[in-house]
């Protein structure tokens, strides 16, 4: 671990972040290409849906196992193994395209599932790996970089993935393979210590390990209520996404307009990452969280009222910017108050709630828009977010989850 200087001069962190960011761009590129490929080859919207489901299913079923692995395994080996699994899968998908198989559906579903699984295990181990290579003082800036990975990857990956797919169907997968190779090179160059933190004497059964992670989240008031509210707010956000897509399509806007509006959240997320670290250093996590929910509530109003793409993009960009700020604040808080040896399991249990809600949000959005008008659906989301903002007033900060670190007060109450 670097003992002095800023995160910008921390060689190991910059290697870790750059490799992971590039591989994430490649991954989001194929997330766009997978369903497009399935639809183009087979003409089956059902198969395209199954491929998308295969990509997202691991986020629902592997969060806890991935957390256990992140806590008890050498994180560099886990990250390397995930990259190798993703590389093998994307190469198989590339060969399927070039070979022009008659029935590629099952193979694409399997490769998509493997890549999605590697992504889940990679993400949780990356969180612990960042803590391995930075100092306590560098954490806010480091996690601002960490949270910026997603919006950057979404903007670049989605745009590049769709563009190169138009040139050749195999190109997004080949580009993804190159991004994996770059990530492997950066991981190999890191000198930090990623060895397992759990010794042989404290390896309990899997069930006890899982309960331990859940207990840590449950016994801290802020972790408990922020996890529940984040799950609910993620559900609301998924409804808003489908609402915007539905309204823009019904208003006759071209398909690229929908992509541009949705990409605005990524742009906002990148901008938000620049102010996330200073805000996290100056304000407590509960204060940032409460303010974010109120701000989201306000931004959902113009989304509910109009169909102008510029207005929607501006509001949605604001949602993305705030999302990055609150994610940095929450991540820093979790890393500071959750015992190091249980970080993966605790965060995995949090992701199980928040990511599971995102999957359910898509289903709920379809039912709401089928049963009610877009106006009713829109104001329902505004009301729901306002209710969550009010409930967030009960989140008062850390009172002792597990074994708090000595700097927990910096992001606590």
Phi–psi pair at 263, nearest 5 degrees: -70, -20
d(C-alpha 106, C-alpha 58), whole Å:
17
| Token pair 């100092």: residue | 135
Q: Crossing angle of helices 63-72/206-219, nearest 10°?
A: 100
- Owner of token pair 């700097």: 407
The CA distance from 68 to 181, in Å, is: 26
49 phi and psi, to 5 degrees? -65, -40
pLDDT of the residue at 176: 94
Question: Of 319, 322, 300, 309, which Cα lies nearest the Cα of 375?
Answer: 300
C-alpha distance from residue 240 to each of 259, 359, 365, 375, 385 (Å): 14, 13, 8, 11, 11
CB atoms within 10 A of CB 145: 25
- Examine domains 1-195 and 205-402 and report if their fold is the same: yes
Query: Which listed CATH number (1.20.120.350, 1.20.1250.20, 3.40.50.1010, 3.40.50.2300) goes with 205-402?
Result: 1.20.1250.20
Q: What is the pLDDT of residue 155?
A: 76
Angle between helical axes of 285-305 and 374-391 (0-180°, round to 10) = 170
Nearest to residue 272, comparing CAs of 146, 385, 375, 380?
Answer: 146
pLDDT (0 to 100) of residue 90 = 95
Helices (H), 251-373: 255-282, 285-305, 309-337, 343-371
pLDDT given for residue 45 in this prediction: 58
How much of the chain is helix, strand and coil, in % rounded to 5? 85, 0, 15
372 by DSSP, 3-state: which? Answer: coil
**Cα 169 vs. chain centroid, distance in angstroms?**
26
Q: What is the spatial distance between Cα 265 and Cα 260, in angstroms, rounded to a whole number?
A: 9
Residue numbers in the chain where pLDDT is lower than 50: 2-3, 200-202, 398-413
User: 70 and 128 in contact (C-beta within 8 Å)?
Assistant: yes
Domain boundaries, the chain: 1-195, 205-402
Give the whole-angstrom CA distance, residue 75 versus residue 125.
Answer: 6
pLDDT recorded at residue 200: 45
Q: Which CATH architecture has domain 1-195?
A: Up-down Bundle (1.20)
Q: How far apart are CA 332 and CA 160, in angstroms?
A: 31
CA 397 from chain center: how many Å? 23
């Amino acid at each position: 671990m670097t003992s002095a200087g800023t995160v910008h001069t921390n060689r190991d962190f910059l290697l870790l972040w750059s490799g992971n960011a590039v591989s994430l761009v490649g991954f989001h590129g194929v997330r766009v290409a997978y369903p497009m490929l399935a639809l183009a080859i087979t003409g089956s919207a059902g198969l395209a849906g199954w491929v998308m489901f295969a990509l997202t299913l691991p986020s629902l079923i592997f969060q806890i196992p991935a957390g256990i692995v992140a806590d008890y395994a050498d994180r560099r080996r886990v990250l390397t193994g995930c990259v190798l699994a993703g590389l093998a899968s994307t190469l198989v998908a590339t060969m399927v395209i070039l070979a022009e198989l008659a029935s590629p559906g099952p193979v694409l579903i399997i490769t998509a599932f493997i890549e999605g699984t590697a992504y889940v295990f990679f993400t949780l181990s990356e969180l612990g790996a960042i803590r391995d290579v930075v100092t306590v003082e560098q954490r806010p800036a480091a996690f601002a970089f960490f949270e910026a990975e997603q919006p950057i990857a979404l903007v670049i990956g989605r745009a590049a993935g769709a563009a190169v797919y138009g040139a050749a169907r195999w190109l997004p997968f080949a580009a993804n393979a190159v991004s994996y190779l770059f990530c492997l090179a950066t991981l190999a160059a890191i000198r930090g210590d990623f060895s397992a933190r759990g010794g042989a004497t404290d390896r309990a059964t899997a069930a006890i390990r899982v309960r331990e992670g859940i207990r840590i989240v449950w016994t801290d008031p802020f972790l408990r209520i922020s996890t529940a509210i984040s799950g609910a707010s993620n559900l609301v956000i998924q409804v808003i996404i489908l609402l915007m897509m539905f309204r823009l399509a019904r208003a006759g806007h071209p398909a690229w307009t929908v992509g541009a509006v949705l990409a605005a959240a990524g742009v906002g997320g990148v901008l938000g990452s620049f102010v996330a670290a200073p805000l996290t250093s100056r304000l407590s996590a509960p204060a940032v969280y409460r303010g974010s929910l109120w701000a989201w509530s306000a931004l959902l109003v113009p989304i509910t009222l109009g169909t102008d793409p510029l207005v929607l993009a501006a509001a949605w960009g604001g949602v993305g910017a705030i999302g990055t700020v609150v994610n940095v604040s929450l991540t820093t808080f979790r890393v500071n108050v959750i015992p190091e040896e249980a970080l993966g399991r605790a965060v995995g249990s949090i992701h199980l709630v928040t990511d599971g809600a995102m999957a359910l949000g898509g289903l709920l959005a379809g039912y709401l828009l089928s049963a009610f008008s877009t106006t009713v659906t829109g104001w329902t989301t505004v009301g729901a977010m306002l209710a969550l903002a009010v409930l967030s007033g009960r989140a008062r900060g850390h009172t002792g989850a597990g074994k708090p670190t000595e700097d927990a007060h910096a992001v606590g109450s």
